[in-house]
Amino acid sequence: MDYPNDQAPGAPVRSGIPEHGRVPKYYAVKARIDRLVGELGEGSAIPTERDLSERYGVARETVRQALRELLLEGKLRRRGRGTVVAGPKLAQPLSLASYTEGVRRQGRTPGRALVTLDRFPCPDALAAETGLTRGEPVWHLERVLLADDERVGLESTYVAVARVPDLDTDFDPDSSFYAHLDVQGIAFGDADERIETVLATPREALLIGTPPALPMLLIHRVSRDTEGRPLERVRTLYRGDRFSFTTHLRG
């Protein structure tokens, strides 16, 4: 197969051009805008749809489709009524490290905004999934995840009240829950994690500040302490245009 000399290892093979050579017009325009994005710095405004349409000699709808895909891929973002170059995605490690640690390692400032903190009897489904006792009191902590004050995700944590009885009085909702557990002398042992792509519900999209059609990365985690006792059940939505995940594998 013929690879261009400038083919990046992580790029689509032959830049995604099919073997028959017939490239959709919007895709050709998208490739040209993508190159333009690479020449501009983060936060730089890109030309208007009309300007791009005239520059590339195509209809505005063709430009609009190309921009839509670049927005979904996280290479562009909206600012007011215009469109600007987005920064690199946040690379979150798949590990027992907290969200706070992952964001700080990339030079960004992590934060969280409290949505809800309430307690209720553990339902059957949660008990079956975590090993908690049906009916025992559990906390539900829901927070919007922030990076440099940008809303990038939504996290729901379920934990037995018996493990952290004073969560509603001794915990700062803007801080790391894992750091709080560490202060309580609770250490993580292991966890099961599952990742899938979803669309946010209208409520979730409103809280995160994204259109409902934006793909999300959803992580389910059930973790245990060093003695194998159930610790937490977490459901975290990450913006697909702002996050990627990394891990190190060994043979």
Q: Is the pLDDT of residue 4 over 80?
A: no
Find the Cα–Cα–Cα–Cα dihedral 46, 48, 54, 55, rounded to 10°: 0
Distance, CA of 244 to CA of 90 (rounded, Å): 6
Query: Bridge-partner residues for 155, per DSSP?
Result: 143, 236
Tokens of 143: 């927070």
Q: Is the pLDDT of residue 11 over 60?
A: no
Res 82: pLDDT:
85
Residue 2: which of 243, 164, 15 has the closest Cα?
15
Q: How confident is the model at residue 60 (pLDDT cuts 50, 70, 90)?
A: very high
Q: How confident is the model at residue 1 (pLDDT cuts 50, 70, 90)?
A: very low
pLDDT in tens, 35-46: 898 888 888 999
Distance, CA of 159 to CA of 165 (rounded, Å): 10
Q: Is the pLDDT of residue 169 over 50?
A: yes
The H or E element containing residue 51 is helix 49-56
Number of H helices, E strands in the chain: 8, 10
